[in-house]
Amino acid sequence: MTIEVGQKLPDVPLTIGTADGPKPTTSGEYFAGKKVALFAVPGAFTPTCSARHLPSYVDKAAELKAKGIDEIACVSVNDPFVMAAWGERDGSQDVTMLADGNGQFAEAVGLEMDGSKFGMGKRSQRYSMIVNDGTVEQLNVEGPGEYRASSAEHMLEQL
């Protein structure tokens, strides 16, 4: 069942991909006490994710923060080393790269997808959400192959 607006995020393991190496955390710990603009992508370095999705949040980071967002995070079913490398190449200090290496977060929020026909296995759907102290305030899930509702531009319209 897909998580809904007003619900608390489930507490599952995540890892922050940093230049200094993986930093283990949990969703409960990471989202506590702050307002986070979270966006999820099917995979680091994939075409839409690298050309449009991550860049939209990098470009709009200051505007999001000016509207009350404390932190911006990107989550993907990739390992923390891949997420750190992607963040170094295409991200910025304004975007935290969260690795959901085993897909536990995607599954727990009910937003997993099967990318097996593309050789990707189980992944996350493309979506965005505003999470305030662990509670979902906005949720924007894309249809298959779409990219609009989860963009930083759309999120700015919601704030």
Residue numbers annotated as active site: 49
Backbone angles phi, psi at 94, to 5 degrees: -80, -10
CA distances 156 to 7, 53, 159, Å, are: 21, 14, 5
pLDDT the model gives residue 73: 97
pLDDT tens-digit profile of 112-141? 977 777 767 687 889 999 999 999 999 999
For the domain covering 13-158, report its CATH number.
3.40.30.10
> Which pLDDT value is given to residue 104?
96
88-107: burial string, b at 16+ Cβ within 10 Å, e else: eebbeebbbbbbbbebbbbb
Per-residue pLDDT of the chain (159 residues; tens, 9 = 90+): 899 999 999 999 999 998 889 999 999 999 999 999 999 998 888 766 666 788 899 999 999 999 999 999 999 999 999 999 989 888 789 999 999 999 999 999 999 977 777 767 687 889 999 999 999 999 999 988 888 999 999 999 999
Q: Which amino acid is at 108?
A: A
- Cβ-proximal residues to 93 (8 Å cutoff; 6+ apart), any chain: none
In this structure, which amino acid lies at residue 11?
A: D
pLDDT, residue 86, reads: 87
Q: How far is CA 43 from the centre of its chain?
A: 10
